[in-house]
Amino acid sequence: MGGEVAVKKLWRLLRHDWPLHFVLLFTNWLPDNVPFLALRGACARPFIGRCGRGLKLGRNVVLYNPSRISFGNDVYLAYGCWFMAGAKIQVGDEVMFGPYCVVSSSEHTRQGRSFRCGVLKSAPIVIGDGCWLAAHVTLTAGVTIGSGALIAAGAVVSCDVPDNVMVGGVPARVIRQFTAA
């Protein structure tokens, strides 16, 4: 059984991780303007688990385990976003990520007196359609962000967010409810 796991891991690295790494490496010298954001996204698209049309990627975006990431249509990741897909990360349509957002579906646990050797705990992250995650937002493992939500800059989201609200703070809490348009 161990050989099967090693073959699957090698296939994932060859099919998704390494090609995406090289695409991002070779396109990082291009400026962050609309044509190059779209070009970077189009070049990266084949190496992401599921990816809709219109993906736009800023420079220095990092996607660990891209085979476990699902992007809807017209998703935008700004400069320096970091995705760690220990478990599935599902992003809906028309979602925007500001600079330096961190989305991590895995977290360390403590073993003895150390987090370094603790067991990795993973849980999926789901982000609904039409969300905006402003700069420096952090999403932790297991959260669900409702459709139409705005996550204020610098927020740390560690529990679920309902539809059509603005949340902010550390930890994030509801600041405002949006009315339907």
pLDDT in tens, 110-125: 888 888 888 889 999 9
- pLDDT at position 52, please? 96
Tokens 């992003």 belong to which residue?
91
Considering the chain, what is the average pLDDT of its residues? 94
179 — pLDDT class (breaks 50, 70, 90): confident
pLDDT, tens only, 146-159: 999 999 999 999 99
CB 105 within 8 A of CB 84: yes
Give the rounded percent of residues in the chain with a pLDDT score beyond 90: 81
Q: Tens of pLDDT along 20-30?
A: 999 999 999 99
Q: Averaged over 28-56, what is the pLDDT?
A: 95
Q: In what order do the strands lie in the sheet with 102-104?
A: 62-64, 82-84, 102-104, 138-139, 156-157
- Whether 181 has a pLDDT exceeding 70, the answer reads no
Report residue 1's pLDDT band, with 50, 70 and 90 as the boundaries.
low
Q: What residues are paired with 145 via a beta bridge?
A: 127, 161
Cβ neighbours, 10 Å, residue 15: 14
pLDDT at 10: 84
Q: What's the predicted TM-score (pTM) here?
A: 0.92
Residues that are catalytic: 108
Residue 125's closest CA among 161, 72, 89?
Answer: 89
The CA R_g of the chain, rounded to the nearest whole Å, is: 17
